[in-house]
């Protein structure tokens, strides 16, 4: 399968298949965590050997990372800003006090779909879409939501379901 086929499949089917994928992922809670993680990690590697994120960048267009104090300090330093200035310019607190971008798409997304602060990007960006991390069975709702935003996650979940 090539990248365009994966993206086309995601565009055509992610919303339609959301409930089915959510149910499948929720059912993984009853499975062996390590076996699920191994399968997810294998398919994650496969997906990202096919998919070039810079051809999509939907995560940067549709999803804000959560910013931690260390992210703000690191990025502000790179931009020659004080952390308070960076925070006032780019982020706002939600009802829980967590910090997210004020607007989307991400202001650090270049016209070439590349991150202009890649080396110092927020930890949440570096770890996205979290399908390579241990504990998939504890994040099934979050992973299901990401099938709507990321063709790679949609591919990973669809492949996991097909190969179970």
SS3 115: strand
- Mind listing the pLDDT tens digit of every residue in the chain (164 residues)? 899 999 999 999 999 999 999 999 999 988 889 999 999 999 999 999 999 999 999 999 999 999 999 999 999 999 999 999 999 999 999 999 999 999 999 999 999 999 999 999 999 999 999 999 999 999 999 999 999 999 999 999 999 999 98
SS3 70: helix
- Residue whose token pair is 């703000």: 72
| Residue 158 CB burial class (10 angstroms; 0-12, 13-18, ≥19) | buried
| Residue 34 CB burial class (10 angstroms; 0-12, 13-18, ≥19) | exposed
SS3 7: helix
pLDDT at 71: 98
pLDDT at 164: 83
Sign of CA dihedral 69, 149, 109, 91: negative
**Distance of alpha carbon 40 from alpha carbon 155, whole angstroms:** 11
Q: How far is CA 13 from the centre of its chain?
A: 18
């Amino acid at each position: 399968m090539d990248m365009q086929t994966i993206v086309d499949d995601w565009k055509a089917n992610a919303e339609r298949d959301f409930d089915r994928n959510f149910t499948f992922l929720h059912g993984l809670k009853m499975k062996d965590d390590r076996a699920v993680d191994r399968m997810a990690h294998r398919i994650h590697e496969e997906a990202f050997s096919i998919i070039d994120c810079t051809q999509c960048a939907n995560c940067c267009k549709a999803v804000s990372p959560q910013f931690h104090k260390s992210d703000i300090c690191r990025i502000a330093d790179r931009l020659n800003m004080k952390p308070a200035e960076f925070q006032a310019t780019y982020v706002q607190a939600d009802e829980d006090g967590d910090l997210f971008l004020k607007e989307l798409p991400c202001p650090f997304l270049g016209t070439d779909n590349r991150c202009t602060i890649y080396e110092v990007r927020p930890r949440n960006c570096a770890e996205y879409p979290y399908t390579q991390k241990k504990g998939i069975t504890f994040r099934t709702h979050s992973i299901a939501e990401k099938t709507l935003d990321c063709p790679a996650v949609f591919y990973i979940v669809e492949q996991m379901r097909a190969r179970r």
